[in-house]
């Protein structure tokens, strides 16, 4: 296990306990481009199943050879033939309006579902007057029937405004709904669909704002169960981060990883990845509590001299604070700058002490811009 304490960190405080370490950000190297193009697989296209009078706009004739790739009104239904259908047990799902108007001048809604590996991909348009939990439940069943996959065990979703509808539909099917911004494959796919599908749709409305904007509420006080005793900014070479993730997967420790290859993340092994190390005499219970929270990101709030922990969909906590000074502000700015250098990649590590060689919990995190839709 790589020791985080070989890295010098900043003098900062949590729960009135101070640890002094200094962070050498000058040694960070700029990595190659962070995101490559999201992997696109061959897609089976089915005709719009909705009445043309309800959501479709007239479009010109489409060459049959190009229809599968070029028709922005087409819906997708795809399961990788090399994937065992029984292994697709967790989905990521979005059910929301799009910046597209139908012939009635109403926004079209769309269901987008995938798994984290994009082995399953499914999209379906809906008119705005059928948006309810029954429609969604029936659509989930249809996906399973059409692609011959089982009802999933879990479905992650990232819009708080749709929580009631999605939760009700899931529970009626015995699915565990998980509100979480860790829907990274889905979010990147939506970003790509905005450029390659929605903007090319004949009903696209340029400048249209998302109907269901994502929440970014003011952070709350941290629950007692999540308190650590010491914390520090740290950084690890990307090669060592990968070793931590391998250890996590082998030991079934607390934490979460990301499929970096699928996400198209390309970073040089020597690039320093910023993180936050938290030490506690009750590290294992702390990591266990943290493990159930769908940890999304950690950010430094320079104006308020604190760190903000984002979990779930829209829950934000004041995770730690520090005494504001030119030195600590500079260190926090450097940590945020390091995140940008690594394309938003960062981590949270929980240890018994900041001198420990082992992590009790390790979460790989990624800042992403909000969905364009």
Q: Average pLDDT of each block of 10 consecutive residues along the chain (373 residues)?
A: 42 32 28 32 42 46 46 93 96 96 93 96 97 98 98 96 96 97 92 94 85 71 92 93 84 82 83 95 94 94 95 92 93 94 93 88 89 83
Instruction: Sketch the domain layout of the chain as residue ranges.
Output: 76-200, 220-366
Following DSSP, what letter does each residue of 42-72 receive, concatenated? ---EE---S-HHHH--------HHHHHHH-T
Q: Please, what is the Cα angle at 309 between 178 and 239, to 5 degrees?
A: 90
- Token representation of residue 267: 């970073």
**What's the predicted TM-score (pTM) here?**
0.80
Map tokens 């082992």 to a residue: 358
Q: What are phi and psi of 300, to 5 degrees?
A: -95, 120
CATH class of the 76-200 domain in this structure: alpha beta
Give the per-residue pLDDT at 365. Answer: 96
Give the per-residue pLDDT at 55. Answer: 55
Give the per-residue pLDDT at 11. Answer: 32
Query: C-alpha distances in angstroms, 338 versus 3, 365, 373?
Result: 20, 14, 28
Give the per-residue pLDDT at 261. Answer: 80
């Amino acid at each position: 296990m790589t020791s985080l304490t070989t890295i010098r960190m900043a003098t900062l405080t949590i729960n009135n306990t101070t640890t002094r370490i200094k962070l050498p950000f000058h040694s960070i190297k700029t990595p190659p481009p962070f995101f490559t193009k999201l992997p696109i697989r061959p897609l089976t296209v089915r005709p719009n199943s909705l009445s043309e009078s309800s959501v479709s706009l007239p479009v010109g004739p489409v060459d049959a050879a190009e229809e599968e790739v070029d028709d922005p009104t087409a819906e997708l239904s795809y399961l990788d033939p090399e994937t065992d259908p029984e292994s697709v047990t967790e989905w990521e799902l979005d059910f929301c309006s799009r910046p597209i108007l139908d012939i009635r001048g109403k926004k079209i809604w769309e269901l987008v579902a995938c798994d984290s590996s994009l082995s399953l991909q499914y999209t379906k348009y809906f008119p705005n007057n059928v948006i309810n939990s029954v429609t969604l439940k029936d659509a989930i069943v249809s996906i399973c029937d059409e692609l011959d996959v089982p009802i999933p065990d879990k479905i992650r979703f990232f819009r708080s405004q749709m929580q009631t509808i999605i939760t009700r539909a899931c529970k009626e099917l015995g699915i565990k709904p998980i509100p979480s911004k860790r829907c990274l494959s889905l979010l990147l796919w939506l970003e790509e669909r905005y450029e390659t599908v929605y903007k090319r749709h004949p009903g696209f409305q340029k400048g249209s704002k998302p109907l269901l904007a994502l929440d970014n509420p003011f952070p709350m006080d941290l629950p007692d169960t999540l308190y650590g005793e010491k914390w520090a900014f740290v950084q690890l070479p990307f090669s060592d981060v990968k070793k931590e993730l391998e250890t996590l997967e082998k030991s079934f420790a607390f934490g979460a990883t990301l499929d970096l290859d699928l996400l198209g993340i390309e970073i040089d092994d020597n690039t320093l990845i910023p993180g936050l190390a938290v030490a506690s005499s009750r590290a294992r219970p702390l990591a266990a509590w943290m493990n159930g929270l769908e940890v999304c990101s950690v950010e430094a709030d320079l104006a308020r001299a604190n760190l903000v922990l984002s979990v779930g969909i829209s829950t934000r906590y004041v995770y730690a604070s520090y005494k504001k000074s030119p030195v600590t502000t500079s260190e926090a700015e450097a940590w945020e700058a390091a995140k940008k250098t690594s394309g938003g990649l960062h981590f949270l590590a929980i240890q018994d002490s900041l001198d420990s060689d082992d992590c009790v919990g390790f979460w790989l995190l990624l800042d992403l811009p909000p969905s364009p839709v």
